[in-house]
A and B are shown apart, each in its own frame.
Chain A
Amino acid sequence: MQTSEYAIEAHGLVKKFGNFVANDHLTFDVKKGEIFGFLGANGAGKTTAMKILCGLLLPTSGKIKVAGFDVYTQTNLIKKHIGYMSQKFSLYEDLSIEENFRFYGGIYGLSRKQIAERTSTMLKKLDIEPLRKSLISSLPLGIRQKLAFSVAIIHSPGIVFLDEPTGGVDPITRRQFWEMIYEASEQGITVFVTTHYMDEAEYCNRVSIMVDGRIEALGTPGELKKKFDATDMNQVFLKLARKAG
């Protein structure tokens, strides 16, 4: 199973809530190490699909594998092999940096030694070693976001899911964050990311755009701009999403 070249394989993913079809036959693959942007308007069905891929919600039908595991029967294995970060919730504010690393490392079953090593490596990389014992609540937003990402990959997952990770930060911090994403991808971690910043869509290797529960476009940013005769991803998005409604 682990030999597949794909981190995510979704074929005909359907999710219904009563009569409402939140996800309507989504079919897409995400290659290992790829940065995949998952875009769509508010209410298009992104969160539902993301929950299914994270093993938190069962689909109605479809054949879906994440990190080689089945989303119907192997959700616990999926959870072990993925990382997750969102803007809304990521770190415990009244724990220190070190305690957050120890907590999440513990949840993912890392040994004390592994946790200590990875904590040191990441703090060194972010150049914030003196802040080791600082409470998360005392840190600026930019540092928190970089830490949250570091914590989300502390167990070296095959895939990391990022749910609108960069909201509200300054443009320099946002770029430092994307550099971290590129580095993770370089190390073979697959990155699945949602964002409302259309310029960020252009950082992705490939993007899909959801409209009313369906994937209406899928390709590299360059391909989509060409196909929709647009100068940037914002125009592509507006052309697609405005048709809906």
Chain B
Amino acid sequence: MNKVSVYGKGLTKSYGKTEALKSVSFSVEKGEIFGFIGPDGAGKTTLFRLLTTLLLPDSGAASIEGLDVVKDYRRLRQILGYMPGRFSLYQDLSVEENLRFFAGIFKVSISDNYHLIADIYEQIAPFAKRRAGKLSGGMKQKLALSCALIHKPEVLILDEPTTGVDAVSRREFWEMLIRLKQSGITILVATPYMDEAILCDRVALIQHGTIMATGSPADIIQTYPHKLFRIKSQNTLQLLRIMRQMPELKSAEMFGEYIHIGSSPNKMNESDIAAFLNQNNIRQFDLEPMEAGIEDCFMHLMKQQSST
């Protein structure tokens, strides 16, 4: 068991009548990449603002590297790197001025920790004199990450760093995070993209201010209770409407050109499904059993949450 780096217990926060976080507890081990996976409004940003000492919890407690987020906020801020969801560097300062500014407020020089950011910063160094506001989305993201790292934080907190960026930049960003992890930094990352879960060591699936499940992606997938098949035909919408009428079915959800259908184990097999489709005059289809993914689990947990 590794040492705990970030710890939260019973964290609760409301804005007026809106409960943004409802008693959230979790722990992140030192040196891991921990993902908070959930849609907009799930509570990810509120949680990160509590952890970064920018908001006070209504109740509950949290600590990072043994420092309490309320009592020890000054010392805590020294060891945190934070990249908020919205681009929050100085748009009117150049790339290089922003980096110098952030190094300055943490009283370090850029050369002290340059090795940490070298492979990221080198990609934007040709634009060192350009104003931050004039950078492309991908370059802004790299500059923001460089600025969050320049004081060599022990814990890096990234709020939706990949939202709105294309698949290539997204992939490159994750490659950077995996390299950073090797230097021992603990990384907390929030994302609405379900497919990024598998890039994390462990994840918390979060929705409506509640953590629905925590564990490694493989552990979470293990808990998926249904037997799952995927099926496709010429007309997905028609197939979906028919499948939903099959009484033994637990779920039918579109996944691209396929539909994933779930049943209780031992209740249904491929020939039952084929027979049902034949009765409904669908003869051309591909049907095969499959393993669940994180998105299947997320939807299953959401339905459980809304039925309780």
A residues whose Cβ falls under 8 Å from a Cβ of B: 40-43, 140-141, 164, 167-173, 175, 178-179, 182-183, 186, 196-203, 221-222, 232-234, 237-238, 241-242
Q: A42-B169, A196-B164, A203-B257 are in contact. List 11 more A-B contacts (CB 8 A).
A: A167-B163, A168-B163, A168-B192, A169-B40, A171-B39, A171-B298, A175-B253, A179-B254, A200-B256, A201-B256, A202-B256
CB of A140 within 8 A of CB of B41, answer yes
User: Separation in Å of the A17 CB from the closest CB of chain B?
Assistant: 15
Q: A43-B136, A140-B41 are in contact. Are A170 and B207 (CB under 8 A)?
A: yes
Question: Which residues of A sit under 8 angstroms from B137, Cβ to Cβ?
Answer: 42
Residues on the B chain within 8 Å of A196, using CB: 164-167, 170
Find chain B residues with CB under 8 A from A183 CB: 237
* Cα distance, A232 to B163, chains bound together (Å): 20
- 25 contacting pairs across A/B (C-beta < 8 A): A41-B168, A41-B169, A42-B138, A42-B165, A42-B166, A42-B169, A43-B136, A140-B41, A164-B164, A167-B164, A169-B192, A170-B298, A170-B302, A171-B39, A175-B253, A175-B254, A179-B237, A182-B237, A196-B166, A198-B167, A199-B255, A200-B256, A203-B257, A221-B257, A234-B195
Whether B167 contacts A238 by the Cβ 8 Å rule is yes
The docked-state distance in angstroms from the alpha carbon of A182 to that of B238 is 10
Tell me, in angstroms, the Cα distance from A196 to B171 when the chains sit together: 12
Can you name the residue of chain B whose Cβ is closest to the Cβ of A88?
B164
Query: Is there contact, CB below 8 Å, between A241 and B167?
Result: yes
Nearest B residue (CB) for A236: B167
In the complex the two chains form, what is the Cα distance from A20 to B295 in whole Å?
41
Q: Within the complex, what minimum Cβ distance (angstroms) separates B189 from chain A? A: 16
Size of interface on B: residues with Cβ below 8 Å to A:
35
Query: Chain B interface (Cβ within 8 Å of chain A)?
Result: 38-42, 136-138, 163-171, 192-195, 207, 236-237, 240, 253-257, 295, 298-299, 302-303
CB–CB B299/A141 < 8 A? no
* List of 5 A-B pairs having minimum Cβ-Cβ separation, nearest first: A202-B256, A168-B40, A170-B39, A41-B166, A182-B237
Dominant secondary structure of chain A at its interface with chain B? helix
Q: B171: which A residues are within 8 A, CB to CB?
A: 238
Q: Chain B residues with Cβ under 8 A from A140's Cβ?
A: 41
Q: By the criterion CB–CB under 8 Å, are A182 and B164 in contact? A: no
Of B136, B137, B256, chain A has the most CB atoms within 10 Å of the CB of B256
**Chain A residue at minimal CB-CB distance from B170:** A196
